[in-house]
Amino acid sequence: MRSDPGCGITASSDPIRGVEQGEFMIFHSFEQVQNHLDHLGLFHMDFGLDRMRRALRALALSETPYPVVHIVGTNGKGSTSTFLASLATAHGLKTGLYTSPHFLTPRERIRINGAMLSPKRWTALASRVHEAAPDLTYFEFLTAAGLLAFAEEHVDLAVLEAGLGGRYDATTAAPAQLLCYTPIAMDHENVLGHTIGAIASDKAGAIRPMPNGSFVLTGPQPREALDCLARAAEESGVPFVAVEPRALPFGLLELSDPASIPRLGLAGPHQITNSRLALAAWEFLCAERGWRLTREATLKGLADARLAGRFQFIPADAGLPPIILDGAHNPHGLNALAAALEEARIRPRAVIFSCLADKNRQEMLPLIRRIAGNSPVFTPTIQDNERAMSGEVLAEELGSNAVPAQRLRLALDAAAMTKPADAEQPVVLCGSLYLLGEFFTLYPNRLEESVPASPQMDR
């Protein structure tokens, strides 16, 4: 990078990363944006909210022109966020949705009314963000881009899914009118702590002073986590409401009769809990902001919700057996997957499983054995991931039914060659979302085909 004394800035041109102006980058293609993100490093973390707060001030987003719902927790964040965004869209609101991680492209993370932004819009947004804050980390950069996109697109509502934690998560720097907690469970222990209390304490750090009329809502929680959230809300002076599994707190829509559970676009009994939290959040927003709420639009919003890799059914095609994709990557998620398979009476012909090396395998592997039963378990090594667990080690830890596979493609071929009692028996592909990302890289047309895994789930 050269200094230019005539204009007082430094300038250089890099066809891969963009054109530098001073300390910021002007991007001319989405490829350059992608390469800049790769340069930042997907797994790089630098705790603290000061960078994000400076970025939001520079972008005039310290107070957003739209209400924000912030979704925090361990499991179910993406599903709850998707349900809420779908409810708002079905009621005619222009809705921004920010989720993570992505499978094929960062463009998946920022959606408006369910649609990704164009590469051209992404290029312009990235230049604006880098000009305002050239020192952001990967996740901070994308979070700022999402908030800016929602402002420039004049959304009526933004739904933000938190990333790894709460206290120092980049999404916590954004103002929020409503904060929702999905179930808190053991995950990312090396970062967040080795007990439910420690993890809940970090996630409770997302509770901050909020505008009058705001709420903190939570779905079912372990007692230790519930107490931690309640204390944090009380200390911040924000009302705290625990959403009962079969009752909604604001009374605008009566769905407490189990027989009245609506058809859900995301399958599995755990999605009933996620949809209830989203419904409670939607009722709150309607009551607070005077938005219209109708039963017809509500049922449509719940049925239209789609999110790839959540008990997603892939029909048999082109040499592939039928497959159920599920991003269950911790004990809580695997228990939910096992319950969903049992309720749908699905016995897998084979299981394909892999995870990252820092996961708690001691609790996860017995659940994989339970899901597989007598069927084989194929354990590919996730490719191009510095945190990947060795498939050979996984197979050794799982025991006699497990077979290592060097790559996912080989595991899929081996699973297709199994001889099930019923040709309709699916292969269950589960574990790390990065493993699912490899599947979508092989079959990119399947990414937007988020079909519930069984008609029995459409209740």
Per-residue model confidence as pLDDT tens digits over 93-109: 999 999 999 999 999 99
Confidence of residue 424 (pLDDT cuts 50, 70, 90): confident
List, as one string, the DSSP characters of 123-188. Answer: HHHHHHHHHH-TT--HHHHHHHHHHHHHHHTT-SEEEEE--S-STT-GGGGS--SEEEEPPP-S--
Q: What is the pTM of this model?
A: 0.89
Residue 24 is predicted with a pLDDT of 65
Determine the 3-state secondary structure of 71 from DSSP.
strand
- How far, in Å, CA of 266 to CA of 34, rounded? 30
pLDDT: which is higher, 89 or 192: 89
pLDDT over threshold 60, residue 343: yes
Residue 213 is predicted with a pLDDT of 75
Residue 457 is predicted with a pLDDT of 32
Chain centroid, CA 278 distance in Å = 14
- How far, in Å, CA of 459 to CA of 450, rounded? 17
Q: How many other β-carbons are positioned within 10 Å of the β-carbon of residue 57?
A: 12
Neighbouring C-alpha atoms within 13 Å toward the C-beta of 430? 31
- How far, in Å, CA of 242 to CA of 261, rounded? 19
CA distances from 85 to 94, 107, 242, 291 (A): 9, 17, 21, 14
Closest by Cα among 377, 388, 391, 361 to 427: 377
Neighbour order of strands in the sheet with 377-380: 312-314, 323-326, 427-431, 350-354, 377-380, 402-405
Per-residue model confidence as pLDDT tens digits over 10-63: 233 454 455 554 456 789 999 999 999 999 987 666 778 999 999 999 999 999
- How far, in Å, CA of 121 to CA of 36, rounded? 16
Alpha helices in 167-320 (DSSP H): 189-192, 196-204, 223-236, 270-289, 295-304
Tokens read off for 212: 């009058």
Contacts of 291 (CB under 8 A, 6+ apart): 91, 93, 285
Residue 354 is predicted with a pLDDT of 96
pLDDT over threshold 50, residue 455: no
Residue 439 is predicted with a pLDDT of 96
Per-residue model confidence as pLDDT tens digits over 278-309: 999 999 999 999 999 998 999 999 999 999 99
- The helix or strand, by DSSP H or E, that contains position 63, with its residue range, turns out to be none
Any idea what DSSP says for residue 62? S
Mean pLDDT value across residues 372-392: 93
Residue 12 is predicted with a pLDDT of 38
Residue 253 is predicted with a pLDDT of 53
CA distance from start to end of the chain: 60
Tokens read off for 103: 């499978």
Confidence of residue 8 (pLDDT cuts 50, 70, 90): very low
Q: How many other β-carbons are positioned within 10 Å of the β-carbon of residue 19?
A: 16
Show the beta-strand stretches assigned E in 27-109. Answer: 68-72, 95-98
Mean pLDDT value across residues 205-213: 84
Q: Which of 243-247, 310-314, 411-415 has the least mean pLDDT?
A: 243-247
Determine the 3-state secondary structure of 378 from DSSP.
strand
Mean pLDDT value across residues 430-435: 94
Q: Is the peptide bond before 249 cis (omega within 30 degrees of 0)?
A: no
Residue 43 is predicted with a pLDDT of 66
Confidence of residue 459 (pLDDT cuts 50, 70, 90): very low
CA angle 59-136-124, nearest 5°? 50
Per-residue model confidence as pLDDT tens digits over 106-146: 999 999 999 999 999 999 999 999 999 999 999 999 999 99
For helices 361-372 and 391-398, angle between their N-to-C axes, nearest 10 degrees:
70
**SS3 annotation, 394-413:** HHHHHCCCEEEECCHHHHHH
Mean pLDDT value across residues 199-214: 87
Cβ–Cβ < 8 Å for 353, 394:
yes
Per-residue model confidence as pLDDT tens digits over 237-281: 999 999 875 555 455 555 555 455 678 999 998 999 999 999 999
